[in-house]
A and B are shown apart, each in its own frame.
Chain A
Amino acid sequence: MEQVINLDHLSANPILPEVQEAMIQAMKNNYGNPSSQHKLGDSAARALENARESVARLINAKDLKEIVFTSGGTESVNHAIKGVAFARVEKGRHIVTSNIEHNAVLRSLRRLKLMDYQVTSVPVDKYGIIGADKVAEAIKPETILVTVMHSNNEIGTIEPIKEIAALCREKKVPFHTDAVDSVGVVPMDVQDLGLDLLSLSSNTFYGPAGVGALYSKKGTSIWPLLDGGVQENNKRAGAENLIGIIGLGKAAELAVREMESRKRHYLELKKTLLRELPNYIDEYIINGHPELCLPNLLSVSIKYVEGESLVLMLDDENIALSTRSACAAGALQASHVLISIGRDFADAQGTLVISFGLDNKKEDITRFLSVLREAVKTLRDISPLYPRGK
């Protein structure tokens, strides 16, 4: 494969060498089943608990039993939402969420609606901020769960989770946050935030894809999603994906140690890009909150062009990027997030999501910008929307 500048780390992160090494060692030496009552099992069980400890430390969970390993962010979210909905059905069937959630949340809720659950979705402001007061207003006596994302995967806005969690606690409603794009990127403290449930994914912080965890505070009423054996403290049946979990544990350890330096690296790239962008293109909108946002993500709507065309052109120049254009999505649907923050359909079409990683250098930004300038110029020359005489 040719050398590609990856500005699409949200889609996939590379696995860090130290994580790879830990996984390779585990593959060679630690293939046991943690549930077995012999030495192979003991060794596997120790490795499993070590990883659990690393994850608990990453999010400051009080008790190791509060960490349930899953197959990734999507499973964690499904487990949190459906698990609580099933466990608490006798108390009610109403769930509160926001307008800008990830599909894992939206579609879990849509599934529940087929089972006569009701959902209230709270709108966001132009930055994508969810008002805690609006969440509180939406809570009814029969509300059994509130689920609001920690940070948005398209625009990077970080939500007032502590405030929302406090209001939920006041009303005695369990609160879940989808923190898949936050954990390992920004500091996370489930106790300080006052969370009942949190979903995280390993690949966000350079662990393997297909592994994640659900934090479920002690005493939270929740059903398993998968039934079978008694693994994971009876919360998730099935022999553990030990190799993946060891990778997750190692990645969590590194994320704790390197969080500050990574953040500085991301912000440096983001600032460079924001500063240089007006020297390369005009007529664009930066989406999301200017300060309350992920350091590694930048969403920009470029006027008069369509995102899929841009992505194809950048790909020809070996630059990997993501778009939120409907035309690039299988379903041809405009991004509900961009529509919710007030972008019109045409601007939503020209939206790029740039996500930085540890492998990016400042030169990547310069190269990206010069390629982007040419691509935007070419597409605007073709575009009937581009005002004449320019």
Chain B
Amino acid sequence: MYSEVVMDHFRKPRNVGVIENPDGKGEVGNPICGDMMTIYLKIADERIDDIKFQTFGCGAAIAVSSMLTEMAKGKSIEEAKKITNSDVAAALEGLPKNKLHCSNLGADALHAAIKDYESKQSGIKTKEPKRREIHEHKDGEKCYCPYCDAELPEGTTYCKACQLNTVEDHH
């Protein structure tokens, strides 16, 4: 199911961990979508000096995070901003189609971390970024209950619609 490159990054993930007092931190996803990623950055001379990740998710999600950190490490901020989710998937020699939306969030997490870094630099005091501000839905994408397909408000860990309704409403 997965390419050899994916399995290699899954088995030996690079740059796992946390950077204490990071210059930038980005979080995307939520457990409802199935995957969560956090990226930590250490910036020196406008370059990514160090990068680490934490991920809750499937084999693809872990491989994506690992590959992303390898791609971003040592790059300038401007270069790193240009990395896309598709670039990461391509570097992994492809991902199963159904993993492209939910697991391929690495670049989003990186961009969120850069945004966090830049807002800190600009001196504008921002709160710890919340997931809902970062978990963007492009092209009308939304989060849906994986069981009943009901649209889910961000931050919920439980689909109330499912519990209350019957199979008539499910399918």
| Residues in A lying within 8 Å of B, measured CB to CB | 97, 99, 106, 109-110, 113, 118-123, 304-306, 308-309, 312, 316, 325-328, 330-334, 336, 339-340, 342, 344-346, 349, 381-385
Contacts and interface: CB of A to CB of B under 8 A. Distances in A.
Interface stretch (B51-59, B82-90, B116-124): B51-59
Those 7 A-B pairs whose CB atoms lie nearest each other, nearest first = A121-B167, A327-B58, A346-B31, A384-B54, A308-B58, A121-B166, A334-B146
Contact of A106 (B55, B162, B171): B171
Given A312-B10, A333-B146, A385-B56, A97 B167 contact: yes
Contact of B56 (A99, A331, A383): A383
B126 interface: no
A131 B157 CA distance: 27
Interface residues of B, number: 40
Contacts, number: 115
A225 to B, nearest CB: 21
6 contacts: A109-B171, A120-B167, A120-B168, A121-B168, A327-B103, A332-B34
Contacts of B105: none
A316 B11 contact: yes
B37 A384 contact: yes
Interface string B152-167: 0000011100110011
A327 B147 contact: no
A339 B162 contact: yes
B29 to A, nearest CB: 9
A331 to B, nearest CB: 8
A120 B170 CA distance: 11
A312 B38 CA distance: 22
Given A312-B10, A382-B13, A384-B54, A327 B167 contact: no
Contacts of B103: 327
B168 A346 contact: no
A336 B103 CA distance: 21
Contacts of B36: 384-385
Contact of A326 (B13, B56, B146): B146
Contacts of A312: 7, 10, 59
A118 B56 contact: no
Nearest to B98: A332
B171 A113 contact: yes
Q: What DSSP secondary structure best describes chain B's contact surface?
A: mixed
A340 B161 CA distance: 11
A345 B38 contact: no
Given A120-B166, A326-B146, A345 B158 contact: yes
Nearest to A307: B58
Given A327-B35, A334-B145, 5 more contacts: A113-B171, A121-B168, A123-B166, A339-B159, A339-B162
A230 B27 CA distance: 63
B57 A344 contact: no
B129 to A, nearest CB: 14
A349 B166 contact: no
Contacts of A331: 98
Contact of A382 (B16, B98, B170): B16
A149 to B, nearest CB: 13
A120 B36 CA distance: 35
B171 A306 contact: no
Contacts of A344: 31, 157-158
Nearest to B66: A382
A383 B55 CA distance: 5
A325 B16 contact: no
Contacts of B32: 345
Contact of A309 (B38, B58, B168): B58
B43 interface: no
Given A325-B58, A332-B102, A339-B162, A345 B168 contact: no
